[in-house]
Structure 1
Amino acid sequence: MLNKYKSYLASKAYILLTALALGSVVGIGYSVITLDRDNHLATVRRDLEQDLYTATDQIQLRFFEAILVAKHIENLLTASKEVNEAQISRFVADLQLHNPGVRAVALAPGLVVTHSFPITGNQKTIGLKYWQVPEQMASVAQAYRRQSPIVDGPVPLIQGGAGYILRYPVFLPNPSTNVEQFWGIISIVISADGLLSAQRHDFSDAEQYSFSLREIQASSPLANDVPDDAGPLNARPVTTEFEMLGSTWRATVRPTAGWPSYSPQSPYLLAFVLVLAVILVGVLLIIRSFAAEKESARALLAESIGCLNEGFIAFDDDERLMLVNEKYLEYYPEIGPLIQPGMTIKELLAHSVKNQPDATTVEDENTWIAERLERFRNPGVSFLEAAADNRWLKVTEAKTPHGYTVGISTDVTAEQRALKAAEAADREKTEFLNNVSHELRTPLTVISGRASFLRNSERLPQSKSLAAALENATPADGAVTTAVTSFQRFVSEQSAGIENSAKHMLRLVEDLLDWTRVARGQLELDLARIEVTDLGRTVVEDLRPDAEAKGLTLTYSQDGPAEAMADTIRLKQILYNLISNAIKFTDTGNIHLSIEQLGDQIVFSVADTGCGIAQDDLERVFQRFQQVDGSMSRQKGGLGLGLAIAEQLAVLHGGALSLESELGKGSTFRLTLTRAEAAFQRTG
């Protein structure tokens, strides 16, 4: 139930994480798109504002040119007091050449339009009385009151469309009064589109831009002081104010279709945000998949560990407990309730030390914890640990590549009990063999000794007395003497057989005794510096009769005096075993013992021309109670201990015993010992 609840919370947490991640991406994307839109809008407005400044400069220039033309006309009127139509036409034509937006230049002496240049298209304005047109009279009156030019507009034009009119009041001097007298008005009509020439942004194109120019501080009732730049940035037009002919004018412009809602990069940014969101969702799905696989693997691992029939425990690289199965808790019931994930190995050992029978003092407890902690941090071979209910656990610990430490506790109580039983049985067997060997050796020694007496019965005092009695008997009977001699010969022959068998059995008993000492580690060497070449010669001389009895040749060679640190008796025993073994398994040919000095080593080689040993059986010959061929064992006799004892004795001497053999061609045993000088140098 707890795992299901955790899994449910984990799934909900993943959904919440996904929602937060997507929300963050969408929010950041929206902020980026909005910021990009605002920057683009600011750039567009800045470009329009710069062009608007240029446009207002152009407007002022247009009206300045118009004022110059009106001034020229005023000068003509002042000079001649008559309208020079030809010259004025040239002025107007030149003005239109530079300013194509000029629709007409009208002269209105006494406020009645009498002339309009060019006349084409302006015939309807001839005869216009300004006082009859209130829309135009206001600006005329304002120019009259100011006695300076003013601009009126935008106003509907009689010629059609909308435009702006420069009202230039003309005052001519009166010679009789020497005071300037109001002559009339020069009106220069400029269409609204004509004020602007094409820039980067053609403000005269009504399909693209909505442009307006108006006076904001004029006394005319048509003036409007309400600003156009109120409201949010994306709704306000671009506005600039400037001074022209004593009045403040405001020029505004905005795109006809409205300000751009998005920048040209917005679709790409939106696509990027969408791709990023898709990638993020994909990454989250992959992470979720990996997390699910990891959780599944963890659950599988936990279930598998729980199913183990062995105790399992795992610590992280900070030595804190990560996993433990029920079997482990079952093995340690006294501390099982105290084991919690997250506890350190030191805390666990502090609980465990209370159950250690060998730790009786605080110092013992601290020592045990320190040793156990060192073994935990540097795991090596498995070790045994006592557990509850007189059980034994084999603890195996190892470090993982990530620095974790895992431990497996296996109940080996049955194996330990079986091992102890086997050891006890082996001890009993060894003791039995030892006792039997001791018991057998005494009567066998007696039998061998008695047999040796009987083997030389003619030398016995009793035999000599019998021979003397037969010689002194009369009359001497040759048949009796022959019979007695024959009987003594028979006794000697039978005694020889008994003696040989007794010696053989005695050697078997000696082998058993030696092996029990080796097995129990009770065999000690009496090492001394000895001359080995004489020892080898003595062994060969002792065993040559046995070889010659089988028709074999036993030879010996050496390359000079050599000394070794060895036990004389045990070294002889090795050589006796090797040569006796060669005699036993060689039917024809020869046996040769050689002693060679190779550097710091002395090599004893026993080579024979016997039956040889197959390569697959070479290792078996040094095992106890083993012979290569069971049938041969029955033929040749022996317990199969000679070579095993010889190898153990060689090891005790610090040397080695090796074998080279080829089936049907013979064998060579090599005993390698260290020279006495080299042995002293090593020990020194």
Structure 2
Amino acid sequence: MLNKFTGYLASKVFVVLTIVLLASIGGIAYSIVKLDRDNHLAALRLEVEQALHSVADQIQLRFFEAVLVAKNIENTLAVAGEINERQIARTVSDLQRHNPDVIAVALAPNLSITHSFPQTDNRETIGVKYWQLPAQMASVAQAYRTRAPVVDDRVNLVQGGTGYIMHYPVFLPNAELNTDQFWGVISVVMDQEGLLQAPQHDFSDPEQYSFELHPLKASGLVEALPDHRLSTLKDKPVVTTFNVLGTTWEAAVRPAAGWPAYSPQSRNLVGFALISAIFLLGVLLAFRRLALNQTNAHALLAEAIDAIDEGFIAFDDKERVMVVNQKYRDYHPQIADLIVPGATMGELVVNWANRTESLSGSKSKQAWVRERLQRFRNPGQAFLQDIGNDNWLKVTEAKTPHGYTVGIWTDVTAEKRAQEAAEAADREKTEFLNNVSHELRTPLTVIFGRASFMRHSDKMPQAQRLMSALTADGSGCPKSAAAAIEYQKFITDQGAGIAESSQHMIRLVEDLLDWTKVSRGQLELDMAPTQLDEIARTVTQELQPAAEAKGLTLTYAGDGPAATVADKVRVKQILYNLITNAIKFTSEGKIHLSMLHSADEIVFSVTDTGNGIAEEDASRVFQRFQQVDGSMTRQNGGLGLGLAISEQLAELHGGSLSLESKLGVGSTFSLTLPCTGATDIQKTA
């Protein structure tokens, strides 16, 4: 019931967290998009405003240049008294070259256009009378009254299109009247498209911008209020005022489609917000799934720990119980009521020592408690603990990376009893082999000694006296002498056979004795300074007859004298075993013993041309009672202890025994011994 309620509550919390997360992301995204739009709009308005100021400066400059041209023409009229078309055309051409926005320069004496430059493009304006153009007559009249140039608001041009016209009143001196007399007006026509262009902005294009340019009255109000006045637009335009020829003008502009509602990056930001929301939602789902998995894993772990057939307990870094199963309590019935989460290891150990009787007669309780806590705080290898009634538990404790301690208690009573029985049986077997070996070695030694006498029967005093009696004074019987000689030869052959067999049995018994000592750790070395090269040469000489008996060649080669501290008898035993094995398992060819030494080690190598050993069988040759080929074992005899004992003897010397072999080619056994001085041996002893 508790788990169901916890799961239900967790699902509700997850839904609330999801809603809060999505709402937060939405609010943050809206704020970022709005801020980005405001920044973009501010930057765009600033750019348009800068372009508008550039256009205003351009308008001022263009009309200022137009005034200069008009004054130049006025001066020409005043000097010549008539219209000098060529000079005026040149002046207008210069103006158009510097100011391509100028469409035409018209001369209207008495307000009737008589000349328009350039003349080829403006013929249709010749004869136009200003009083017939109400849209322009007001500006002409104002220029006449103020005797100053006046710029006409945007008007439809006679040539077609729209533009701006500057009317410059001309007053020429009248000598008869001794005053200036109104001559007419000079009109400079400028194209709206060229006049309103700025870098990267064409305010004259209605598809891009809504642009208004109007003169202001002295009160600051716009003189004309057309229906499409920008003040009626939803978005506030960019506005600037500037002075043209003494008149204040107002320019207002905004994009034709209005100011953008979003910046170009808004889509990317919204997309990023959506991706972030999806990602965070995925993370939240993954986190919820992980939490559920952890909850399920914790429940599974708790159930598994309680179900295992071993005692389990876990402590935190303060040595307090965190998790414990029922099996652990069953193993400690004396303190089962105290093994609860929160109990410390110190309390449990002290109470177990006080309540159990298995400690009586051994060490003191205080010493046992100290030792047990020391093991708990510094866990190492597993150990056995006697819990009474000849029952044993295997205790395995380990520290986790976070400082926690985990303990596993396994009932090994059956294994412990089996081990004790096996150890007792092994002791009995070893003692039996030892006793048998001792009992066998004495009669075998006697047999070998008596067989040695029989082997040399011809040299015995009795045999020599017999032969002397048979051959004395030539009176003996030749047949008896021959029979006696044949009998002696027979006895010698039989004695040799008995001696060889008894010697072989003695060697087997000695191997058994050595192995029992090795297995019980009782084999000791008699270490002394030794010349190893002499040992190798002696062993070779002693075994040459055995090798020659099989038709084999046995040789030795060394790189000079080599001395170390070793057990002379045991080193000789190792080399003897290696060479006799080579003789035993080599049918034809040769056997070579070599010795190489350096400052650190001495290496003996016994190489034969025998059958060789397969790679998968190489590891078996050094195991006791093991030989690779059973048929060869039966043929040559032996217990399979020679190499095992030799390896143990090499290791007792601090060396090693190794094998390199190739099936069908031969084998090389290598004995490596350290070069240890007598001084070093004394120190280590």
Asked whether the two chains share a fold, i.e. TM above 0.5, the reply is: yes
Distance 2:400 2:427 in 1: 42
**Shift of residue 375 of structure 1?**
2.9
**Alignment TM-score, normalising by the size of structure 2:** 0.58
Q: Which residue in 1 is equivalent to 2:617? A: 617
**Shift of residue 676 of structure 1?**
2.8
Q: Which residue in 1 is equivalent to 2:439? A: 439
Distance 1:310 1:575 in 2: 52
Q: Which residue in 2 is equivalent to 1:485? A: 485
**Structure 1 residues 488 and 18: alpha-carbon distance in aligned structure 2, compared to 1, 3 A threshold:** closer
1:361 lines up with 2:364 in the alignment? yes
Matched residue SS, 1:644: helix
Q: Which residue in 2 is equivalent to 1:129? A: none
**Kept after mapping to 2: 8 A contact 1:437/1:510:** yes
**Structure 1 residues 629 and 20: alpha-carbon distance in aligned structure 2, compared to 1, 3 A threshold:** closer
Question: What do residues 19-39 of structure 1 show as CA deviations (whole Å, max 9, x unaligned)?
Answer: 9999999xx9xxxxxxxxxxx
**Kept after mapping to 2: 8 A contact 1:314/1:323:** yes
Segments of 5+ residues of structure 2 without an aligned counterpart are 25-277
Identity %: 56
State the AA in 2 paired with 1:346.
G
**Kept after mapping to 2: 8 A contact 1:353/1:369:** no
Q: Looking at CA atoms only, which structure, 1 or 2, has the larger radius of gyration?
A: 1
**Shift of residue 674 of structure 1?**
1.2
1:342 lines up with 2:342 in the alignment? yes
Distance 1:367 1:344 in 2: 15
Matched residue SS, 2:621: helix
Matched residue SS, 1:661: strand
1:664 lines up with 2:664 in the alignment? yes
Q: Which residue in 2 is equivalent to 1:373? A: 376
**Structure 1 residues 600 and 639: alpha-carbon distance in aligned structure 2, compared to 1, 3 A threshold:** same
Q: Which residue in 1 is equivalent to 2:387? A: 387
**Structure 1 residues 475 and 368: alpha-carbon distance in aligned structure 2, compared to 1, 3 A threshold:** same
**Kept after mapping to 2: 8 A contact 1:451/1:495:** yes
**Kept after mapping to 1: 8 A contact 2:311/2:327:** yes
**Kept after mapping to 1: 8 A contact 2:529/2:678:** no
Q: Which residue in 1 is equivalent to 2:638? A: 638
State the AA in 2 paired with 1:633.
T
**Kept after mapping to 2: 8 A contact 1:529/1:676:** no
Distance 1:283 1:657 in 2: 62
Q: Which residue in 1 is equivalent to 2:654? A: 654
Distance 2:15 2:617 in 1: 75
Matched residue SS, 1:335: helix
Matched residue SS, 2:442: helix
**Structure 1 residues 331 and 467: alpha-carbon distance in aligned structure 2, compared to 1, 3 A threshold:** same
**Kept after mapping to 2: 8 A contact 1:397/1:407:** yes
Question: What do residues 271-327 of structure 1 show as CA deviations (whole Å, max 9, x unaligned)?
Answer: xxxxxxx99999999877665543332222121111111111112333321111111
**Total equivalences in the alignment:** 432
**Kept after mapping to 1: 8 A contact 2:565/2:681:** no
Q: Which residue in 2 is equivalent to 1:526? A: 526
**Kept after mapping to 1: 8 A contact 2:359/2:365:** no
Distance 1:543 1:557 in 2: 15
Distance 1:615 1:317 in 2: 51
State the AA in 1 paired with 2:412.
V
Distance 1:542 1:335 in 2: 72
State the AA in 2 paired with 1:594.
S
**Alignment TM-score, normalising by the size of structure 1:** 0.58
State the AA in 1 paired with 2:505.
M
**Kept after mapping to 1: 8 A contact 2:313/2:406:** yes
Matched residue SS, 1:626: coil
**Structure 1 residues 347 and 282: alpha-carbon distance in aligned structure 2, compared to 1, 3 A threshold:** farther
**Shift of residue 344 of structure 1?**
2.1
Q: Which residue in 2 is equivalent to 1:306? A: 306
**Shift of residue 348 of structure 1?**
2.3
**Shift of residue 598 of structure 1?**
2.7
Distance 1:505 1:634 in 2: 15
Matched residue SS, 2:513: helix
**Kept after mapping to 2: 8 A contact 1:600/1:678:** no
TM alignment of 1:56-455, pairs within 5 A: 292-354=292-354, 355=356, 357=359, 360-361=363-364, 363-376=366-379, 380-455=380-455
Distance 1:304 1:552 in 2: 68
**Shift of residue 345 of structure 1?**
2.2
Question: What do residues 330-367 of structure 1 show as CA deviations (whole Å, max 9, x unaligned)?
Answer: 11212222101111222222233344627643541343
Q: Which residue in 1 is equivalent to 2:538? A: 538
Question: What do residues 363-389 of structure 1 show as CA deviations (whole Å, max 9, x unaligned)?
Answer: 41343244223334xxx3322222243
**Structure 1 residues 589 and 285: alpha-carbon distance in aligned structure 2, compared to 1, 3 A threshold:** closer
Q: Which residue in 1 is equivalent to 2:253? A: none
**Kept after mapping to 2: 8 A contact 1:400/1:406:** yes
Q: Which residue in 2 is equivalent to 1:112? A: none
Distance 2:647 2:442 in 1: 27
**Structure 1 residues 458 and 418: alpha-carbon distance in aligned structure 2, compared to 1, 3 A threshold:** same
Matched residue SS, 2:389: helix
**Structure 1 residues 301 and 482: alpha-carbon distance in aligned structure 2, compared to 1, 3 A threshold:** same
**Structure 1 residues 485 and 388: alpha-carbon distance in aligned structure 2, compared to 1, 3 A threshold:** same
State the AA in 1 paired with 2:319.
E
Distance 2:386 2:458 in 1: 72
**Kept after mapping to 1: 8 A contact 2:625/2:641:** yes
**Kept after mapping to 2: 8 A contact 1:532/1:562:** yes
Q: Which residue in 1 is equivalent to 2:515? A: 515
Q: Which residue in 2 is equivalent to 1:500? A: 500
1:590 lines up with 2:583 in the alignment? no
**Shift of residue 574 of structure 1?**
0.6
State the AA in 2 paired with 1:374.
R
State the AA in 2 paired with 1:676.
T
Matched residue SS, 1:587: coil
Distance 2:282 2:544 in 1: 93
**Kept after mapping to 2: 8 A contact 1:527/1:565:** yes
Question: What do residues 226-272 of structure 1 show as CA deviations (whole Å, max 9, x unaligned)?
Answer: xxxxxxxxxxxxxxxxxxxxxxxxxxxxxxxxxxxxxxxxxxxxxxx
1:568 lines up with 2:568 in the alignment? yes
Distance 1:18 1:494 in 2: 101
**Kept after mapping to 1: 8 A contact 2:349/2:369:** no
Distance 2:643 2:451 in 1: 29
Q: Which residue in 2 is equivalent to 1:83? A: none
Distance 1:519 1:338 in 2: 47
State the AA in 2 paired with 1:668.
T
Distance 1:329 1:410 in 2: 13
Segments of 5+ residues of structure 1 without an aligned counterpart are 29-277
Distance 2:359 2:441 in 1: 47
**Structure 1 residues 673 and 288: alpha-carbon distance in aligned structure 2, compared to 1, 3 A threshold:** closer
Matched residue SS, 1:387: strand
Distance 2:283 2:521 in 1: 69
Distance 1:344 1:567 in 2: 56
Question: What do residues 496-529 of structure 1 show as CA deviations (whole Å, max 9, x unaligned)?
Answer: 1111000001100010000000000000001111
Matched residue SS, 2:564: strand
Question: What do residues 410-442 of structure 1 show as CA deviations (whole Å, max 9, x unaligned)?
Answer: 111111111111111111111111111111111
**Shift of residue 458 of structure 1?**
1.6
**Shift of residue 465 of structure 1?**
2.9
**Structure 1 residues 502 and 289: alpha-carbon distance in aligned structure 2, compared to 1, 3 A threshold:** closer
Matched residue SS, 2:421: helix
